[in-house]
Amino acid sequence: MATLIGSSGAGDDLIRKLHEMGVSRSCTTIKEVMERRDAIDQVIALERERQERLLEKERRTLRSGMRKHALLDSLLFFNKNKKSREYLKRIDHLDKNKDAIIENNLLYLYREKDVLDRVTREYRSELKGYYGELLVMDTLERLGDEYYVLSDVRITREFGHKFDGKMLKSARVDHVVVSRKGVYCIETKNWNLRWKSEDRPTPGEQARRASYLLYRYLKYTCDIPRIRVMSIVLYTNTTVKGKEDFVRFLRYEDFPAYLEARQEILSDEEVSRVLECLGSRDIKFDDKLPESEKEVSKEGEATVELSLLEEVSGGETV
């Protein structure tokens, strides 16, 4: 089995968001969140019983204290501040406001219940992304022992520059597969409709941009000259298949066969070097453009960009 490093980025993001909204921090996975949602009514009932026991315990403690101070107050008749009266007022307050006190102490659970009730409705897109990544991770885990899978890898370059006509400074990769057969930058998509968005990159563009950043980091900062980074989009349904240059679109279960057909292009030492460079999964780097790129005129940018993409992907254009 492949070595897995990291967890689902979509799941981690949703968990953090739910924690901020009041869901118990004991829930560290989406599965635990769903179990919490199913059990929240029982949790509230048990907490109500606990609050009732705590109030009853406090009342018993107050009554005991009141009896002791009643005797002292009778002896110290000249003392105007009767301690027993304070105890009596507190007991009276608890008796009259018992239900309100309990409900107030349960407010945080009611807020959590409200969030949990809305999870599948308001966070449907995030859940789909998470379940898609789980399917892909399960498939990647079944790869051979020689494969390493890093999930939720973030890449940030100190200074951005234009790539594909847009500014490129950072990227987030769902999965990076590393072996002697190369480095594969994987974008996971759980589609059910064709991708249409004017303000966001397409899945292919996301994979291509992330691959380029990863390539620059590994080649120039980590000094791995023979590195190639393949852009892969794995989709987890059957209704949509994309097609873009320099990006391979595959069904998630077809990826192992695709890898099997690839030739080995990296040595064991280079694989170890890649893993060492990507180990933190939160990469920040500052590389300098080669002189050949710096001297390119504005009119020649598209040609150079195309040649760089060919170098990144090893010339693969499907």
> What pLDDT digit, counting tens, does each position of 44-84 carry?
999 999 999 999 999 898 888 877 766 665 655 555 556 66
The tally of domains found in the chain comes to 2
DSSP annotation of 217 reads: I
| Angstrom distance (rounded) from CA 144 to CA 148 | 9
Where does a domain end: 95, 122, 149? 122
Closest CA to 51 of 103, 2, 10: 103
| Number of alpha carbons in the 13 Å side-chain half-sphere of residue 53 | 6
Angle between helices 30-75 and 98-105 (to 10 degrees): 140
Where does a domain end: 99, 122, 145? 122
Domain containing residue 84: 27-122
Is the residue at 18 inside a domain? Answer: no
Q: Are residues 141 and 229 in the same domain?
A: yes
The amino acid that residue 9 corresponds to is G
C-alpha dihedral over 299, 304, 309, 315, to 10 degrees?
120
CB 314 within 8 A of CB 230: yes
Tokens of 285: 């780097």
Where does a domain end: 92, 122, 152? 122
Amino acid 135: pLDDT:
87
Query: Which pLDDT tens digit goes with each residue over 128-167?
Result: 888 888 888 899 999 989 999 999 999 998 887 778 778 8
Alpha-helical segments (H) within 168-267: 203-216, 255-260
Q: Are residues 145 and 235 in the same domain?
A: yes
The SS3 of residue 53 is helix
Q: Indicate the pTM of the whole model.
A: 0.75
DSSP annotation of 30 reads: H
The CA–CA distances, whole Å, from 275 to 175, 269, 312 equal: 13, 10, 18
Query: Which pLDDT tens digit goes with each residue over 178-212?
Result: 999 999 999 988 765 455 555 677 788 888 989 99
Confidence of residue 10 (pLDDT cuts 50, 70, 90): confident
Q: Are residues 242 and 253 in the same domain?
A: yes
Is the residue at 148 inside a domain? Answer: yes
